[in-house]
Amino acid sequence: MKNIPWQEKPENCKDVLWRHSENPIIDRYAIPTSNSIFNSAVVPFEDGFAGVFRCDNKAVQMNIFAGFSKDGINWDINHEPIQMQAGNTQMIDSDYKYDPRVTFIEDRYWITWCNGYHGPTIGIAYTFDFKEFFQCENAFLPFNRNGVLFPKKINGKYAMLSRPSDNGHTPFGDIYISYSPDMKYWGEHRCVMKVAPFEKSAWQCTKIGAGPVPILTDEGWLLFYHGVIATCNGFRYSVGAAILDENEPDKVKYRSQPYLLAPAELYELTGDVPNVVFPCAALHSHEEDRLALYYGAADTCTGVAYGKISEVVDFVKNNSL
């Protein structure tokens, strides 16, 4: 994969992930109507990049918008939200849309997001060009969040991670996997991983949820995920990583005990929801051994962090729960 955004690791940095020096790359007011732009997903597209962005407006309604970029850092986000057409079913209600993920499978880009249908569940759509979008069946019954597709079929079926939840600020949450022959009917639900015991890894002891589309490595699927601890000051969201078996991705081979990224910069510590780093996409290049992780900061703006794929994999293997 070509020309993904990149900065070398600062000399004094001892971590496996480091932040883009000009973070946040997308400001909360980057389009005229927005209150905040965060938890958004990007992919390589044509000679640059495209993305689906969560822009909450100034009425604080949550919706998703298409955007385009030559370099992955400077983004032109459409001023109008994505208008869906009927995909593999008749149009279904969508009271709101948030926290999109995007992945290319076979011949098209698939978008999953948290879709308001009598509460949050997982919406699915596809596009070929980021202009026309076709909405499909919701994957699951309410309530569910963090639906993340694998970038290829596994044993002949589409595979999706998700996190069953409640209709509020869910105080629990484990990661499950489900399979579909056709992107319409989902089943074979299996548990992938649960929260960690408080005394072993407290940053991920309240709830966890899949982040970006998993990246296939020699060791298996590299999955970045968010982990949450309930503090006396509210939830705190950090980023960890796990490695799932390539052919049986409900089997967790390794899982990081320490976090890889946690709220530390001002734009992560303060905002509409303080102390949140929430990754939804990762551009990567195996040739160059690089990845660029896109994350929402404090439910307000969007940041990027960099890492070497091999270093992340080694870190997870050597610091596994």
Beta-carbon contacts of 67 under 8 Å, excluding residues fewer than 6 positions away, are 40, 50, 51, 52, 53, 75, 76, 77, 78
Q: How far is the CB of 296 from ligand BMA (least distance, A)?
A: 6
Nearest residue to ligand BMA by CB is 273
Residue 162's beta-bridge partner residues?
176
Nearest to ligand BMA of 214, 271 (CB atom): 271
| CB-neighbour burial class of residue 57 (10 A; exposed 0-12, middle 13-18, buried 19+) | middle
CB 103 within 8 A of CB 151: yes
**Cα torsion angle, 25, 96, 121, 119, sign:** positive
Q: How far is the CB of 43 from ligand BMA (least distance, A)?
A: 20
Site residues for ligand BMA, 162-191, by CB under 6 A, read 169
Number of residues forming the site for ligand BMA (CB under 6 A): 10
Site residues for ligand BMA, 261-290, by CB under 6 A, read 273, 276, 278
CB 298 within 8 A of CB 235: no
56 is an interface residue for ligand BMA by CB under 6 A: no
Q: How far is the CB of 279 from ligand BMA (least distance, A)?
A: 10
Nearest to ligand BMA of 31, 62 (CB atom): 62
* SS3 sequence of 231-246: ECCEEEEEEEEEEECC
Nearest to ligand BMA of 26, 276 (CB atom): 276
Which one, of 285, 283, 287, lies nearest residue 305 by Cα?
Answer: 283
Binding-site string for ligand BMA from residue 228 to residue 257, where x marks contact by CB under 6 A and - marks none:
---------x--------------------
| CB-neighbour burial class of residue 96 (10 A; exposed 0-12, middle 13-18, buried 19+) | middle
Q: How far is the CB of 114 from ligand BMA (least distance, A)?
A: 7
302 is an interface residue for ligand BMA by CB under 6 A: no
Q: Applying CB under 6 A, which of residues 100, 296, 303, 307 lies at the interface with ligand BMA?
A: 296
Q: How far is the CB of 152 from ligand BMA (least distance, A)?
A: 27
For residue 275, which amino acid is it?
N
98 is an interface residue for ligand BMA by CB under 6 A: yes
Nearest to ligand BMA of 152, 169 (CB atom): 169
Nearest to ligand BMA of 118, 169 (CB atom): 169
41 is an interface residue for ligand BMA by CB under 6 A: no
Q: Applying CB under 6 A, which of residues 24, 53, 99, 283 lies at the interface with ligand BMA?
A: 99
DSSP state of 83: P
Cα–Cα distance, 109 to 130 (Å, whole number): 8
DSSP-derived 3-state class of residue 223: strand
Nearest to ligand BMA of 4, 55 (CB atom): 55
299 is an interface residue for ligand BMA by CB under 6 A: yes
Cα–Cα distance, 53 to 35 (Å, whole number): 13
Q: How many other CB atoms are there within 10 angstroms of residue 229's CB atom?
A: 22
Cα–Cα distance, 156 to 137 (Å, whole number): 20
* Farthest CA pair distance, the chain: 55
Q: Applying CB under 6 A, which of residues 5, 17, 20, 39 lies at the interface with ligand BMA?
A: 39
Question: Which residues are at the interface with ligand BMA (CB under 6 A)?
Answer: 39, 98-99, 169, 237, 273, 276, 278, 296, 299
